[in-house]
Amino acid sequence: MLKLYGTSKSRSARCLWALEELGVKYEHIPVEVAQAKSPENLKRNPNGHIPVLEEDGLTLWESMAINLHLAEKYGQAPLWPSAVDQRAKVYQWSFWGMTEVEPRLMTVLINRLFLPPDQRDEKAATQALEALKAPLKVLDDTVKTQPYLLGSDFTIADLNVSSVLSFAMIAKVDFAAVPAAKGWLDRCLGREANARARALK
């Protein structure tokens, strides 16, 4: 059986969400962020991070790699598109979320929430929010004329990108200039499979 190590209070949530969307039987083994560098978890992931997937002798880390693997192995259209060019778009948007959006969001969170007040850099947070405007405009332009990233259907690309942008809620990002992007994000995060994943430890 599949085993997923991690907590829904971390990037592991996107893998739990994928598993719930796919309807795959799995065992969730709660591992808090603070336990990620424990000797037990370092054996699974030498980087000292969560999530980690174990499956029939395969040990896989990096949440996006896990989700793309799960979707390719267990998913069917439309969640995992059948056309090769559509799958290319899945990769494009998933990597876009990791490179264009997540680093900026994490800079905001680190400097407004995670670090002790005397170590925070408000200038860095402000600059990150300003830099986030351009990718949010790209997203907004994409979902102005279609409900999801690839068209009319929710795919693993939507799951991956919206899971990254879920951090924007904690960071209190202003979506006033990108209402289509906000509507898309609400549609994605409002899915029942995400609610089930978020309810886990």
List the CATH number of the domain containing 42. Answer: 3.40.30.10
For 110-159, what is each residue's pLDDT tens digit?
A: 999 999 999 999 999 999 999 999 999 999 999 999 999 999 999 999 99
* Domain assignment of residue 196, yes or no: no
Residue 109: CB atoms within 10 Å: 17
* Domain assignment of residue 110, yes or no: yes
* Domain assignment of residue 199, yes or no: no
**CATH code of the domain in which 153 resides:** 1.20.1050.10
* Domain assignment of residue 54, yes or no: yes
For 23-46, what is each residue's pLDDT tens digit?
A: 999 999 999 999 999 999 999 999
Same domain, 114 and 53: no
pLDDT band of residue 108 (cuts 50, 70, 90) is: very high
**Kind of pairing between the strands at 2-6 and 26-30:** parallel
Same domain, 70 and 123: no
pLDDT band of residue 163 (cuts 50, 70, 90) is: very high
| Per-residue model confidence (pLDDT) at position 43 | 97
Same domain, 18 and 114: no
Residue with the larger pLDDT of the pair 103 and 172: 103
Asked which of 26, 58, 75 is the last residue of a domain, the reply is 75
* Domain assignment of residue 197, yes or no: no
Report the pLDDT averaged over residues 163-182.
95
Asked which of 18, 50, 75 is the last residue of a domain, the reply is 75
Same domain, 104 and 183: yes
pTM assigned to the model: 0.96
Asked which of 75, 102, 120 is the last residue of a domain, the reply is 75
- b/e 54-78 (16+ beta carbons within 10 angstroms → b): bbeeeebbbbbebbbbbbeebbeeb
| Per-residue model confidence (pLDDT) at position 128 | 97
Residue whose pair of structure tokens reads 């992007």 in the numeric block: 181
Same domain, 39 and 101: no
| Per-residue model confidence (pLDDT) at position 190 | 98
| Per-residue model confidence (pLDDT) at position 155 | 98
Average pLDDT, the chain: 97
* Domain assignment of residue 198, yes or no: no
**Distance, CA of 99 to CA of 56 (rounded, Å):** 31
* Domain assignment of residue 174, yes or no: yes
The structural domain count of the chain equals 2
Same domain, 50 and 141: no
Which pair of tokens denotes residue 134? 């351009």
Same domain, 89 and 107: yes
* Domain assignment of residue 201, yes or no: no
For 70-102, what is each residue's pLDDT tens digit?
A: 999 999 999 999 999 999 999 999 999 999 999
Domain of residue 177: give its range: 84-191
- Burial of residue 15 (CB within 10 Å: 0-12, 13-18, 19+) is buried
